[in-house]
Amino acid sequence: MDQENKKVQGWHKLTDEEYFSDPGYSALQASSIKNLLRSPAHYQAGLVDDSQTPAMEFGTALHNLILEPELGQVVEAPDCRRGTKEWNAFEAENEGKLLLKPDEFRAAKMMQEELFKNKTAKMLLQGGRAEITGFVQFPKFWGKCKVDYLLEDINVLVDYKTTTDARLTQFSKKVIDYGYDISAAWYLDLARMITGEYFEYVFIAQEKTPPFAVQVFSTPAQILMLGSKKIVKAIEIYEKCLETNEWPAYPDELTPLTVPAWALNE
């Protein structure tokens, strides 16, 4: 039996639970596209993998602190292990809050402080809407995205990323390695389909260790074109799988290994 479809094309404010877990809001998203490009089987596995690592939990809290500090959702927890009596009691008293251990909370607050010292980053995180979900109906499926910060007045989508190295050369490499080019192209496509207007995509990159340095990057057309080509390929794979209801992993024939390009230069 099909799950209730709650989707309506446009911009919406959803909770993380609704966006990631509610079947009524299920749709193709950037992470799904990246999984499809690995294999349809990896896409299917990603649909049921809702595990959260400590790093992911910290990232969620940091995003909340940076993008929606007025909500007061991030709370400093006692200096004790998770799951202890003291922790569980504090968690019960702060139901629905995002709890960080004291060292994590201090790091998050320092990152927040350093971020807003950057004039460009500060300007890009004012006057818009945070954590906004976009839905678009395609001919054969729904697509969705969750924009970190939406600036409708100037048609800009802002993506806040933490990184080990925010230098231009290093972050540019991470954009490709981590599929941020796919995310940027996908989000811009959906924004255009929702509004009928063209948007710009901006990354705010912040290092995760002191001095928590920040750099802001625009996204050139060349990167967006790379992402768009990957999206087209993923959608072809996805629609074929929808038609056949077959979600294969890797090829089952004998495959010859290849020599990495870097090895040839040694």
Q: What is the pLDDT of residues 89-143, one digit of tens each?
A: 888 888 888 888 889 999 999 999 999 999 999 999 999 999 999 999 999 999 9
Judge whether 115 lies within some domain.
yes
> Do the Cβ atoms of 38 and 49 come closer than 8 Å?
no
Judge whether 54 lies within some domain.
yes
What CATH number does residue 193 fall under?
3.90.320.10
Judge whether 1 lies within some domain.
no
Judge whether 255 lies within some domain.
no
Judge whether 259 lies within some domain.
no
Judge whether 4 lies within some domain.
no
Domain count, the chain: 1
Question: Residue 186: is its pLDDT beyond 90?
Answer: yes
> Do the Cβ atoms of 201 and 213 come closer than 8 Å?
no
Question: Residue 72: is its pLDDT beyond 90?
Answer: no
Q: Which residues contact 2 (CB under 8 A, 6 or more apart)?
A: none
The encoded tokens of residue 99 equal 């709890």
Full domain range(s) for residue 121: 10-248
Judge whether 97 lies within some domain.
yes
Judge whether 254 lies within some domain.
no
Angle (CA) 258 263 266, round 5°: 155
What's the full length of the chain, in residues?
266
Mean pLDDT of 204-212: 96
Percent of the chain with pLDDT over 70: 97
